[in-house]
Chains A and B, each alone.
Chain A
Amino acid sequence: MSTPAAPPLLALRGVSVRYGPISALQDIDLQIQQGELVALLGSNGAGKSTTLRAISRLVKPVAGLIEWRGRSLARTATERTVRLGIGHCPEGRRVLARQSVAVNLELGAYLRRDRRAIARDLQRCYERFPRLGERRSQPAGSLSGGEQQMLAIARSLMGRPRLLLLDEPSLGLAPLLVAEVMAILQQLHREGLTILLVEQNAHAALAIADRGVVLQAGSISLSGSAAELMAHPDLKDTYLGEGEPGDG
C-alpha cells in the first residue's frame, strides 16, 4: 500500500503479545486509514480480541510498535488512549447492569468536560437509538441482548472516538438484530467514523467493511478488500475454521 504524506490513523508494526508462556499474537502488521471500516476476522482464539486490547493498551505487547497518528502508544495508559480518540467497545457488551441506561451513557463521556456538548450527544444518541431513549431510566441489566449491544456501542460513541474498536458486536444476537447492528455501523462509517470491527460472523462484517484482515493462530494469514475476501473460495473452510460463531 502506498502511504500518503500523512501517517495512517493507526499502525501496528510487528506487534507480538504473550500471555505468560502462551503467544497470542506474532508480528502483526496492520494499518488503518482515516475513515476506513476494517473487518478483523478469525476463529476462536485467533487473537482478534488481543489485537484490540493491545491497541487500547489493556495488554502490553512484548515486541513491536503501535502508532496513533504517527506517535507511539508505548507509554500510554488506557484512559489516555480514550482521550486520544480510541474508543474500545469490549466483547460481551459489559454494560453496568445495575446502573440506568442514562448513567451508562454518561459514564461513556467520563473524560469529557464539555457539559453542553455531552447533553447534545446524549440527545443525538437517543435519536439514533430510540429504544435507549425510551428506557433511559431503567437499569441496563433489564434490557434485551440486542438493546444492551446498542447501549454498549452508544456508550463508546459518547466518548467521541475517532477510531472505534468493536469486539464481536453480533455475539449471541438473532440474525435480525445482527443486521440491525451492522446497519448502524454502516451508518456510523458513512458519517466518517473509522472502525476496526472484530467479528466471527465474516459474512455480516465483510458486507459492510472496506477491507478485511484474517487472523489465524495469532498471525495475519490473509488480507484484502471486502469483495476479494468474499469471493475467496477458501475463506470459510481454511481460514475461519468450520466452527459456528460462538463465544470468542
Chain B
Amino acid sequence: MRDLSLLVQMGFGALLALSVYLPLRCGQLSLATPGFYAIGGYVAALLSTRWPALSGGGASYPLTSLALELLLAALVAGAVALVLGRPVLQLRGIYLAIATIALVEILRVLNLNMAWSGGAVGIFGIPQPFDGPAGYALATGVLLALTCWLCSRLEAMRLGRAMSAIREDELAARCMGIPTADVKLIAFVLSAVIAALTGVLAAHFLNTWNARQGSFDASITTLAFVVFGGSRIWLGPVLGGLVITALPELLRPVGDLRLILFGLVILVGPILFPQGVITPEGLARIRAAVRRA
C-alpha cells in the first residue's frame, strides 16, 4: 500500500514539474505553480466539505463530483492566471520569478487568515472518492498521461514552435510576427490549470488541505524538479518530478545519510548535467544507439 502512495506522490511531482516547465518552454521563469496548486486544492476541499449535495448518498464520494471539482478548479485557476498573467508576464527573468513568489506568498497568507479557508487549521475530513491509493494512482496516471500527451504534441505544433522561438530570441520571434505576449499568456494559463488539477487530486488524497500546501518551499522544490530533469523537452521535468519526489523515500534504508545523499543528488545533478538529465540531443543519441543495437 505504501508503495502505491509513493507512486501517487511521484505523479503529483511530475505534474507540478510540467506546470513549471510550460512557462519555461517560452523562457518565462514562473514560480507560481504552488499557488495554483493551492487554489485547486481549496476548490476541491471547499466544494466537497461545504456542499452536501455533491457527496451523494453512497459510501464513497461520487466520481462525477470529482470531475466537477476538476472542471471548476481549472476554470478558477485559469481565470486567475489570465487576469494576473498580462501584467505579471511583462516582467522578465528574475523579476518574474520574484513576482510569482510574491503571488504564492500572498495566497498563502490569505488562506492562513481567512475564515472560509479554515485559517491555520485548514480544511479536514475531505471525502474519499477512491477506496485506496490504487484509485488515486490511476487518476493521477491518467492526468499525467494526458498532460504528457499535450506537451509532446506541443513540440510539433505551431504554438510549441512559437514558444521555442520566444525562448531562444524574443526579439527575433516578434519580428517573425509571433504574438509573444499572447503565447506567454497561454503557457502561463496552461501551467496554472495543470497545477490546479493536481491540487484537486492532492486535496482528496491527503484528506486535508491548509495554507502550508502552497509555500515558497514548494516553489523551490518544483523548480528543482525541472532543473534536475531538464527543461528543454517534456520528458525532463517528468523524470525530475518522479525521481526527486521518490528519492527521500527510496533512500530511507540508508538511515541518517539519506538527507545528505538527497542533497548530493540535487547538487551534483546540475554540475554533471547543466541542461538537466534529459536533453533532445541526449535522447537522439540514445535512439541512435538503440537502432544500432
Contact = CB atoms under 8 A, between A and B. Distances in A.
Interface of A: 56, 58, 77-79, 82-83, 87-90, 94-99, 103, 106-108, 110-111, 155-156, 159
Given A90-B171, A90-B172, A96 B165 contact: yes
Nearest to B181: A77
B107 interface: no
Given A82-B176, A107-B176, A97 B168 contact: yes
A203 B158 CA distance: 41
The B interface, classified by DSSP as helix, strand, loop or mixed, is: helix
Contacts of A106: 161
A76 B257 CA distance: 60
Nearest to A96: B168
Contacts of B165: 96, 99, 107
Given A58-B174, A103-B161, A106-B161, A79 B168 contact: no
Interface in B180-235: 180
Nearest to A94: B172
Contacts of B249: none
25 contacts: A58-B171, A77-B179, A79-B174, A79-B177, A79-B179, A82-B176, A83-B177, A87-B175, A88-B175, A89-B175, A90-B171, A90-B175, A95-B172, A96-B164, A96-B168, A98-B164, A99-B168, A107-B162, A107-B178, A110-B161, A110-B162, A110-B176, A110-B177, A155-B176, A156-B175
A84 B133 CA distance: 56
Nearest to B162: A110
Contacts of B174: 58, 78-79
Contacts of A159: 176-177
Nearest to A58: B174
Nearest to B164: A99
Most buried by A among B164, B165, B174: B174
A18 B168 CA distance: 27
The 4 closest A-B pairs by CB, nearest first: A82-B177, A94-B172, A111-B177, A79-B179
Nearest to A141: B168
Interface of B: 158, 161-162, 164-165, 168-169, 171-180
A141 B172 CA distance: 14
B178 A79 contact: yes
A98 B161 contact: no
Nearest to A91: B171
Contact of A107 (B161, B171, B179): B161
A24 B169 CA distance: 24
A37 B175 CA distance: 20
Given A94-B169, A96-B169, A99-B168, A110 B158 contact: yes
Contacts of B177: 78-79, 82-83, 110-111, 159
Given A78-B175, A90-B172, A94-B169, 18 more contacts: A58-B171, A58-B175, A79-B174, A79-B178, A79-B179, A79-B180, A82-B177, A87-B175, A89-B175, A90-B175, A94-B175, A95-B172, A97-B168, A99-B165, A103-B161, A107-B173, A159-B176, A159-B177
A95 B168 CA distance: 9
Nearest to A57: B174
Contacts of A110: 158, 161-162, 176-178
A98 B168 contact: yes
A163 to B, nearest CB: 13
A87 B174 CA distance: 11
A154 B179 CA distance: 20
B183 to A, nearest CB: 10
Nearest to B170: A94
B7 to A, nearest CB: 34
A156 B161 CA distance: 17
Nearest to A95: B172
B113 to A, nearest CB: 41
A113 to B, nearest CB: 10
Contacts of B172: 90, 94-96
B256 to A, nearest CB: 44
Most buried by A among B164, B176, B180: B176
Contacts of B161: 99, 103, 106-107, 110
A45 B119 CA distance: 58
B188 to A, nearest CB: 18
Nearest to A156: B175
